[in-house]
A and B are shown apart, each in its own frame.
Chain A
Amino acid sequence: MSYGRAASLLALLLLLGGCFAMRDRRAFDEPLRPDRVAAIHPGVTTRFELLKAFGPPRAVARPGTTMTFPPPGGWRSGGESVPSEAFLDLFKAKRPLRPSEVVFYYEASTQKETGFLVFPLVGGGSVTREAVVDRLFFLIDEGTGRVEDVILRRAE
C-alpha cells in the first residue's frame, strides 16, 4: 500500500471513529393503547366504562364554552385555551349534533429525538427534538350516558 493511500485510510478511520447516530423516545403520558380504544363501541360503551378505561379526560368540550388544558409535551407551563367548537366541529362534520352531546378529549405525548454527532476530531452534528402527540376524541351523549363516536388521530 502506498504511503498516501495508508495516510488517507488512517485519516478516514480517525474521522469515522467517533461517529454515531441517535434515536430516542421519551413518553410524557401513558400511551393510548389501541386495544383499549378498540374496546370502546359507539352506542354501547357507557361514559362510566370509558372513564374506567381511560381515566379523567384532559378536557371536555361543551357547546358555547372554551376549554383550558395544559399544552402537550410538557414543554411549557400555563394553559392552552381552545374553543370547544373546534372539537365539536370534528363530529359535526359527519352529522348534526344534539345539544346534549359533548366531547371527551385525551392525548398522549412523546418526545422524539433524532440526531447524529461526529467526534472526536472536528466534531459536529445535529439534534432534533419533536413533540409527537396522539389525540383521542369521544363524542358522548350526556342524555343517554353512552359513547356515540370515536376519533383517534395518531401523530405517525
Chain B
Amino acid sequence: MSGRAEAGRFRRCAVLGLAAVASLSAGCAIVGDRRIPVAHFTDAQSEGIRPGETMRRDVLERLGPPDGVVRDGSPPPLPPGGVGQGAVAYRYDAAECNFTVFLLCGQGGCIPLPTTPVMTTRSLWVFFDERTGAVTRRDVESTSREIQMPEVPWSGDQLH
C-alpha cells in the first residue's frame, strides 16, 4: 500500500474517531460555579495598606466601614494573636463559594450532579495605634470548609 493511501486512511479514521467522541459526549457539560456573597476587600486593596504609612482615615476612605471593630478585651471574633493595649483592629470580610456541576443532558432535560461546595471566608484585619491612627500591621485570615448545598449562597438558583 502506498504512503498516500495510508495517510488518507489515517485521516478518515481520525475524523470518524472525533465524530464518535463528539456524539458520545454530546449533552454532557462540566460547569464551574462561583458565588461571591461578600467582597468587602480585594487583594489589591489589602496590599495597598502599608504599616507605618497608611492612616485610619485612608482605610475608611478606601474600604468603607468595617464589619467588626475589636479592642483588647473585646468579645470574639478576635484576630489571630489578639489586639494589644492601646490598639484597635478593623475587620473586613470576603467570602466565596465554589463547586462544579456535571450536567448530564438528554431529550428529557438535564440531571445536575454537583460536587461538594467549598466556602472560603477571608478576613482582613487592620490594626491601628488608637492614639495616632496609624496602621501598625495587617493580617489576612483565610479558612475553607465544605458546606451543604442549602448553605450555598442563592442556593435556589440552578444552572438549568
Residues on A facing B (Cβ under 8 Å):
3-4, 7, 11, 14, 71, 73-76, 80, 82-83, 85-87, 89-90, 93-94, 111, 117-131, 135, 137, 153
Interchain CB contact under 8 A, B153 and A76? yes
Contact among B15, B37, B68 for A73, CB-based, below 8 A? B37
In whole angstroms, what is the CA distance A76 to B68 when docked? 19
Q: Given that A123-B28, A135-B64 are known contacts, is A75 also in contact with B153, CB under 8 Å in the complex?
A: yes
The reply to whether A127 and B36 form a contact with Cβ atoms under 8 Å apart is no
Interchain CB contact under 8 A, A14 and B31: no
Interface residues on B, range: 35 or more
Report Cα–Cα, A7/B61, bound state, in Å: 58
Structural contact, B22 and A130, CB atoms closer than 8 A: no
Q: Which residues of B contact A127 (CB under 8 A)?
A: 31-34, 159
A126 in contact with B31 given A4-B11, A90-B60, A90-B64 (CB within 8 Å): yes
Chain B 59-95: CB-based contact to A (< 8 A → 1; otherwise 0): 0110011111100000000000000000000100000
Indicate whether B25 reaches chain A with its CB closer than 8 angstroms: yes
Residue of B nearest to A121 (CB): B22
Q: Which residue of chain A is the closest to B12 with respect to CB atoms?
A: A3
**Could you say which residues of chain A place their CB within 8 Å of the CB of B11?**
3-4, 7
Shortest distance between the CB of B81 and any CB in chain A (Å): 21
Q: B57 on the interface (CB 8 Å rule)? A: yes
Q: Which residues of B contact A130 (CB under 8 A)?
A: 35-36, 39
Neighbour of A129 across the interface among B25, B36, B61, B66, CB < 8 A = B36
Pair A124/B68 contact, Cβ less than 8 Å: no
The verdict on A111 contacting B154 (CB below 8 Å), with A86-B69, A123-B29 known, is: yes
B32 and A89 form a contact (CB under 8 A): no
B35 / chain A contacts, CB cutoff of 8 Å: 75, 128-130
Q: Which of A82, A85, A125 contacts B31 (CB 8 A)?
A: A125
Distance (whole angstroms) from the CB of B9 to the closest CB of chain A: 12
On whether the beta carbons of A75 and B69 are closer than 8 Å, the reply is: no
With A73-B153, A86-B65 in contact, do A117 and B34 touch (Cβ < 8 Å)? no
Judge if B157 is at the interface, Cβ distance under 8 Å.
yes
Q: Contacting B39 at CB < 8 Å: which of A93, A117, A131? A: A131
Q: Are B22 and A124 in contact (CB under 8 A)?
A: no
> How long is the Cα–Cα vector from A3 to B15 in the complex, in angstroms?
10
Does B56 sit at the interface, judged by CB under 8 A? Answer: yes
By beta carbon, the residue of chain B nearest A132 is B39
- Chain B residues with CB below 8 A from A73, complex form: 37-38, 153-154
